[in-house]
Amino acid sequence: MRDHFHIKLTDDTIREISSIGLAHLGDAVYELLVRAWLCEQGKATGKGLHRATVEMVKAPAQAARVERILPLLSEEEMGVFRRGRNANVHNIPRNASRSDYQKATALEALFGYLYLQNKQERINELFDQMLGEEE
């Protein structure tokens, strides 16, 4: 049986994926982390859980948290982040500025990239740093 949680792609194949494609995957990775963290924190109640998730995954919240990890990124990770930030995105939600949305897209691209590289430990390190005092 194929392991769909740990896809094996070559570095060249991963580099060929567009920034939007990486962000698409990274959005799901980030949301899964947030949902799991909220459940772990005991915030697993119907509407409250959904609202808390939305609050943490919306672009302005991601943009604020991403500032905590920028100094920790390797050169390679920073390259992926910049690529994601410069992605040509047309539809920006009303609740986000262009700058916040670009940072959120960059973060999601980075998480998508790290996921495809099977670097879950690194994703966890960065996510922990992003949460900071909230834990």
Can you tell me the mean pLDDT for 108-120?
Answer: 96
CATH architecture of 11-134: Orthogonal Bundle (1.10)
Q: What is the pTM of this model?
A: 0.91
Q: Is the pLDDT of residue 135 over 70?
A: no
**Running DSSP on this structure, what letter comes out for residue 58?**
S
23-37, 51-65, 85-99: range with lowest mean pLDDT: 85-99
Query: Residue 3's pLDDT is what?
Result: 83
Query: Residue 134's pLDDT is what?
Result: 64
pLDDT for 3-54, tens place per residue? 888 888 888 999 999 999 999 999 999 999 999 999 888 866 777 888 899 9
**Helix 59-66 / helix 46-57 crossing angle, nearest 10 deg:** 60
Catalytic residues: 27
CA distance 30 to 114: 11
